[in-house]
Amino acid sequence: MRILAASDIHLGRRPRHGNSGHDSWDLVVNKALELAVDVLVLAGDVIEHERAWLSVYAPLVNGLRRLGEANIRVIAVAGNHDWEVFSRLTAEAEQIKILGLGGTWESCDVEGVRFVGWSFARSHHEQNPFTTFPGERDDCPLSLGLLHTDFGASPSRYAPTTAQDYDASGIGLWVLGHIHAGGPVADGGAFYCGSPYALDSGEGGPHGAWLIEDASPLMWKEPRFIPLSPVRYEEVAVTVTDLDEVEAIRSALRKSARAVADDLDWAGELYLTIRFVGSLAVGLSLSEVMGSAEEEVSFPAKDGITCYVQRSFSDQTTPAIDLAQLESGSGADSQLARLLSDEQL
């Protein structure tokens, strides 16, 4: 079986560098069709909020229709953002199966795989959902869990869970939502999908969905990350020590930015936040280095990547000390400067 896993799509929320509030959903649907998967699983927060329902209804249902026409099943759980909308969606779209509505555990079997899930019944849930987990039956050897959860955080208002919960569940693999950075947790027994589209500069690194395939009737292969987001945010550290002119710092900035772009096996729009470090020469201004333009500044990078430097930056520099100037004084600072100069001789 081939399964595409995604979460935190937030239909109705337009990405900072995106065209519409359904960009993320379109990416996921198109990838599921391209890969010809058997099932698309969604681990919550597919929709931003109840207020977005009218604006996202058409693209959501259209995507579900396209998936249905390709015989791709859609199985989901509700998160803290879409718990209210999903309860309504079940009555209006037969192409999607939502597990565990009302805060209960529920399962369904598809082609020899058992899908197990729990959904939010309201916007907050302080208890660990596994306190009511019924345990896994042994009549289906291959299982996949779906949960929207705040892993490793206790207390939390968003269904906190621990690594021990997944170890003891008897489920072969868990697909998680809520955290927008993807990757494995619980010693690989579970993984966060992350958001498929980088929504803003706080969502650095790669974003996409995950392909899950069975290795045998008894176990899963390791999930494979599928990049989807055409936008990526990264932070770049630029060292200003021993750079005495504005243009020298700008040159170092461009060099550091190109190095980040060159290291990426990815294509799209790359937005960089600059973090200046080191000793800043007296009289130099980082605001002058960055210029006065209000929009991002673009510059050439490797083929396939358009690179932008964002206007906001982080200043973690310290003022450079001019020992020669300090030595000419008479205070304690000057005496210390002379001592330091003597040690360097």
Domain count, the chain: 2
94 shares its domain with 205? yes
Q: Per residue in 94-147, pLDDT tens?
A: 889 999 999 999 999 999 999 999 999 999 999 999 999 998 777 788 999 999
193 shares its domain with 100? yes
Other Cβ atoms less than 10 A from the Cβ of 44: the count is: 33
Q: Per residue in 183-197, pLDDT tens?
A: 999 999 999 999 999
For residue 213 the two structure tokens come to: 């395939």
Least confident residue range of 76-85, 89-98, 241-250: 89-98
User: What residue numbers bound the domain in which 204 lies?
Assistant: 2-227
- Count H helices and E strands in the chain, helices first: 8, 19
216 shares its domain with 296? no
Q: H/E/C letters for each residue in 119-148?
A: CCCCCCECCCHHHHCCCCCCCCCEEEEEEE
Mean pLDDT, residues 230-238 taken together = 97
Residue 313, domain member (yes or no) = yes
163 shares its domain with 22? yes
244 shares its domain with 202? no
Residue 336, domain member (yes or no) = no
Q: Tell me what pLDDT residue 189 has.
A: 96
Query: 296 pLDDT exceeds 90?
Result: no
Q: Cα separation of 195 and 197, whole Å?
A: 6
Residue 29, domain member (yes or no) = yes
197 shares its domain with 245? no
Domain boundary pick from 178, 200, 227: 227
112 shares its domain with 209? yes
C-alpha 345: how far from chain center: 52
Q: Per residue in 21-55, pLDDT tens?
A: 899 999 999 999 999 999 999 999 999 988 878 88
List the Cα angle 245/250/255 in 5-degree steps: 130
84 shares its domain with 170? yes
Mean pLDDT, residues 205-229 taken together = 96
46 shares its domain with 67? yes
Residue 334, domain member (yes or no) = no
64 shares its domain with 36? yes
222 shares its domain with 238? no
108 shares its domain with 192? yes
